[in-house]
Amino acid sequence: MKLLFLLKEGFAGFRRARLAVTITLATITLALALLGLFGLVAQNLSDSFQRVFYQIRLEVFVDPSLGESDFQTLKSEIEGIEAVQSAEYISPRAALQEFEKDFGKDLVAVLESNPLPPSFRVMLKTGRSRPEAIQAVVRRIEALKAVDEVVYPENLIRLLDKYFLLGIVIAAGLGAAIFIISTLLIFNTIRLAIHSRQRVIEIMRLVGATDAFIKAPFIFEGVLQGMIGGLLAAGLLWLAGDLVRYLFLPGLAVPWLYLAGLVITGILLGFIGSYLSVGKYLNT
């Protein structure tokens, strides 16, 4: 019977204070959607950045006078280095084709010969992106007898390494600020909604209702509002993800667990906000 009364009163609160409930739902939805969108974009940008940052490629130019068996031996020696993931042989002809594809110029027509030397495209293992670690690998490769030169974007890597941690700190601080502001906004909105029904709380206390009996419908209503707001926010985030994917980030992913997290967050905020707000009036 008490459970039936709880459910009845919880849903009845939507009818009794439609304006306050509407404002609360709108606040929860927009706050969670903003928080979710920021987190989603930050996560995807971080993933894209790390894919580039952590997959370092070295261009290893070698002596063009080597024979076929020498190239295979050198390939095995390079791949034998612990930090190396793979080494792909690029013949002068293949290098020329890549150059013409990228720049649209016919070097042979201009120079009457192919000036590009044979090389190996070396990929390092994930996690070997620190400048010191890359330098150690480069020194080991350069020490090989048939290697002429090792080229890689050293300045870019040092720049990324310098500002990557700073970017993480700034993003984390901004995300925390958005979360705190959103949480306070939701709590205050729920508190104002309960404040508008302060007279109902006073009447229930006058007729002898216990604190737990008074709290239960308001808490259930807060949880329900948080769940609905979380579902609406998840829907907005899904639509926003499609828009961002279409306009800016084709590879943007919106995991289902991420959307479920918004709903759970909405429920928790609704529960905590309603519990604290109604408790404030019961303790006065």
Look at residue 1 in the predicted model and tell me its pLDDT: 44
Q: What is the spatial distance between Cα 97 and Cα 104, in angstroms, rounded to a whole number?
A: 10
Q: What is the spatial distance between Cα 130 and Cα 125, in angstroms, rounded to a whole number?
A: 12
State both tokens at 118.
Answer: 């044979």
Q: Cα(first)–Cα(last) distance of the chain, in Å?
A: 29
Between strands 84-90 and 57-62, the pairing is: unpaired
Helix or strand (DSSP H, E) at 59? strand 57-62
Quick check: 138 and 150 in contact, CB under 8 A?
A: yes
Fold of 57-151: Alpha-Beta Plaits (3.30.70)
State both tokens at 196.
Answer: 């508008």
- Three-class SS state of 87: strand
User: Which residue has tokens 């759970």?
Assistant: 264
Look at residue 281 in the predicted model and tell me its pLDDT: 67
Domain boundaries defined on the chain: 2-51+161-282, 57-151
Query: What beta strand segments (E) does 93-239 contain?
Result: 119-124, 147-151
Look at residue 50 in the predicted model and tell me its pLDDT: 67
Kindly report, residue by residue over 46-90, the tens digit of the pLDDT.
776 666 666 678 899 988 888 778 888 888 999 898 888 889 888
Residues forming beta bridges with residue 84, ordered by sequence position:
124
Q: What is the spatial distance between Cα 243 and Cα 191, in angstroms, rounded to a whole number?
A: 34
- Low-confidence stretches of the chain (pLDDT beneath 50): 1
Residues forming beta bridges with residue 61, ordered by sequence position:
119, 149
The string over 108-117, giving b where at least 16 C-beta atoms fall within 10 Å of a residue's C-beta and e elsewhere, is eeeeeeeebe
User: Which residue has tokens 């969670």?
Assistant: 32
99, HSE (Cβ side, Cα atoms, 13 Å): 15
Q: What is the spatial distance between Cα 52 and Cα 49, in angstroms, rounded to a whole number?
A: 5
Look at residue 264 in the predicted model and tell me its pLDDT: 92
At 23, which amino acid appears?
A: I
Kindly report, residue by residue over 245-264, the tens digit of the pLDDT.
778 767 777 788 888 988 99
